[in-house]
Structure 1
Amino acid sequence: MERRNFIRLSLASAGGSLIIPKLALAAGNESVTASRDIYYTKEAPGRWAGKVATHLPTIDFTKAGDITNVKIITPHEIKGYEHYIVKHVLLDKNYKFIDEHLFDPAKDNAAISTFTLTNYSGTVYALSLCNKHDLWLNSSEV
């Protein structure tokens, strides 16, 4: 491929990647509705209604002065790389990233994470990602 054609195609691809998502959102509510299913909750389990008990993360915490220890547990068995919880993510009250813990099915027997927060109060959100049953969200007041 000639250099000029390569540059033209590259620029066209870059421009399309900026325009096409906006056109899809402007097309109607179908695209907007689809974007809401990014995560599942106890109240809205979507297509995974039978999976709430084993995929929804639970949040426990203990406070000692300014230190809060947050423990996230997803009661999901780990069946090697075939089916497991990939990671836990902890978000603050503004849905901003605090920390994450990745699981290795070759080493981890359970999906349990612990995080330490200093001088924090308010809501925390826990995300639990299953390699087969998507992303699950739960929250708790600290």
Structure 2
Amino acid sequence: MSVHTGIAEDQRKALSDGLAKVLADTYTLLGKTHGFHWNVTGAQFHSLHEMFETQYTDLTTAVDEIAERIRALGYFAPGSLSQFLKLSTIEDEHGVPDARGMLEQLVRDNETVTQACRAVVQICDEANDTVTEDLMNHRMDAHEKAAWMLRSSMS
């Protein structure tokens, strides 16, 4: 069934493509943050373990919201690890860096997701899609705050 919400099909496609990238970056960041939560060691173990848990819990909710927005726009959301890794610009971690290395990666990765969200906001402006824009603004706020918290935890 066709989608008739006042957003042209080409704009919905552009929004969906941008959101698919945000979804892939977010899902990749979720996996990395969760892995770091399990494997962090050192003097800051407890505080980082707790912070990583807070962040991956937020990311778990976010991936669902982003995927559902893609569906509401009339497109299928990517849903496999291979699709996410193909679309994501966040590098998967295959080892276990020290706590500082984890923090550095997560700062960089949260900033990457912020930039991907910002690119979607530009498309939202053209399409007059305030719903997607609101979602992206919320996600940018969450990622900027996460990056700040992570950055502030580096000693």
Identify whether the pair has TM-score above 0.5, normalized to the shorter chain.
Answer: no
Q: Which has the higher contact order (CA 8 A, sep 6+)?
A: 2
Q: Which of 1 and 2 has greater Rg?
A: 1
Q: Could you state the TM-score of these two structures normalised by the residue count of structure 1?
A: 0.25
Larger proportion of helix = 2
Which one has a larger percent strand, Structure 1 or Structure 2?
1
